[in-house]
Amino acid sequence: MSRTTDGDLAQLKQQLDSTGPGMCVAKWKQVTMHLQNGHTHSCHHPISHHVPLEEVLANPTALHNTNFKKQQRQQMLNGQRPKECDYCWRVEDQGNGSFSDRVLKSNEYWARPFLDDVTTKPWDHDVAPSYVEVSFGNACNFKCSYCSPHISSKWMEEIQQHGAYPTSSRFNNLDWIREQNLMPIPNNQENPYVDAFWAWWPRMYDSLMHFRITGGEPLLNKNTFRVLDHVIDNPNTNLDLSINTNMCVPKELIDSAIERFKRIVGENKVKKFKLFTSAEAQGAQAEYIRYGMDYNQWLDNIVRVLQAVPGMEFTVMSTYNIMSIPSYQRFLADMLEIKQNYKKPDSNYTPLYVDIPYLRYPHNQTIFNMTQDLLPMIEQQVSYMYRNQEQPDWRPMVHDGFFKHEIDKLKRIYYVAEYIFSPDNDMDDKKRADIANNRRDFALFVDEHDRRRGTNFVKTFPELEDFYNLCRSQ
């Protein structure tokens, strides 16, 4: 596949702008559907909006083609820039020649071929998406420290029993979730949004190029297995299929999933199939962050899948946060071992990739509340990845190390943290006050976490004891 150049993107931008300066194919061809609460959005930048029940009962494709979204499309076709897409307008209005995500997304394989089609059809036409992400429900056996009740049923149970956490933001406050119309339909009740999905699915499936199941925990939801069975019976060799999973569900569910994975991968039912899973620390520290996790079980299940399904691929998403810092190098060593043990020399196959975004919310858990004395730990982690980098000049490609794009993600985090705590950074009073408040909230959060769940933060994170004491004193 040829590399996209700036010239290619500039040409595409001209094509988009010939319709209007707000034109973006993602508003037509990409959708994320949260069926547990009937929310939808196209592109991850605009916040999701609720699908009125009367719309979806009359037209199942309203899971994507809501009246609201059609009005945004009409604005784009009329040369306007929808307000909900302001992330891209801010990038473009800087005037430095940067390409916003409306150009980058419109250039994707699932979008660019459809530019002429979407601009020549009426604005209120019901569109068949080519890129779909779907969450069937919030059933989950984890209570990750940065998650929410509308995404995790275990979090919902805790907040219903104990209430919101006593931080300044009242973390996981159900009042806010109700105000945003995000309360999930209980998993044991009939869900009209799930019914609408299955009414639309046979027609939707034929046009799909990318389909990803998120959660909750998808392997706890029967609809995930129904999708897999449909794919087995109806191959789609144009489809990239993926599933997010915590890889810590009961053994019988892992066994059942593996049998389906074998057929999908081994019999080439789709163009590509991969799993996404998550961890951002090692051992007991990972289990504290992702409460409900058994770290060794998680590792064992990744290995089980790689052994049982040759050609299977994982991406491990690390939402790097303040609690990642002490053990992240040990975590990276575990990931490196899997890369090395399941590589296929002289091929393009890589069994495992690591993606390292940094946590943005809740604010009290971001690494940018850390103290300067923790910086060397992150620097050592970056150095470890460089020492084990893929493709040194002196040997052939073997796919058993960290790729440059993986290293760059962690290096970016280090550079931002280093800048924040640099003596040359003249931090204003508001920023200092925000950090102090976030640190107070961090101590309140972990104290309440320990009280509710019987955990012990200082025992689990002895390397962060001084930081914890500082947070308590703020």
Helices (H) and strands (E) in the chain, counts: 20, 11
Predicted pLDDT of residue 295: 98
Q: Letter for the amino acid at 18?
A: S
Q: Which CATH class is domain 153-428?
A: alpha beta
Edge-to-edge, what's the strand order for the sheet holding 30-34?
Answer: 49-50, 39-41, 30-34, 131-135, 210-214, 236-244, 270-278, 314-317, 352-355
CA distances from 168 to 171, 428, 441 (A): 8, 21, 7
Residue 427 clears pLDDT 90, i.e. is over it: no
Torsion of CA 400, 326, 294, 368, to 10 degrees: -100
Angle at 197 between CA 195 and CA 198, to 5 degrees: 70
Residue 305 clears pLDDT 60, i.e. is over it: yes
What average pLDDT does this structure show over 441-447?
A: 98
Residue 2 clears pLDDT 60, i.e. is over it: no
What average pLDDT does this structure show over 72-83?
A: 96
> Given pLDDT bands bounded at 50, 70 and 90, which one contains residue 1?
very low
Q: What percent of the chain has pLDDT over 90?
A: 87
The token pair that represents 388 in the structure block: 């084990």
Q: How far apart are CA 203 and CA 236, in angstroms?
A: 13
Q: How many residues does the chain have?
A: 474
What average pLDDT does this structure show over 78-87?
A: 95
Do 264 and 270 touch, CB atoms closer than 8 A? yes
> How many C-beta neighbours within 10 Å does residue 464 have?
23
pTM, 2 dp: 0.93
Residue 393 clears pLDDT 70, i.e. is over it: no
Could you report the per-residue pLDDT of 101-136, keeping only the tens digit for each?
A: 999 999 999 999 999 999 999 999 999 999 999 999
Q: Which of 153-162, 166-175, 389-398, 450-459 has the lowest mean pLDDT?
A: 389-398
The token pair that represents 370 in the structure block: 């850390």
Tell me whether the omega of the peptide bond preceding residue 79 falls within 30 degrees of 0, making it cis: no
Predicted pLDDT of residue 406: 95
Q: How far apart are CA 38 and CA 305, in angstroms?
A: 33
The token pair that represents 390 in the structure block: 């893929």
What average pLDDT does this structure show over 221-229?
A: 98
The token pair that represents 290 in the structure block: 């992702």
The structural domains of the chain, with segments of one domain joined by +, span: 6-130, 153-428
Q: Look at the block and give the residue holding tokens 């389906």.
A: 260
Q: How far apart are CA 151 and CA 374, in angstroms?
A: 32
Among the listed residues 355, 340, 350, the one whose alpha carbon sits nearest the alpha carbon of residue 388: 340
Q: What is the largest CA-CA distance in the chain?
A: 64
H/E run at residue 356: none
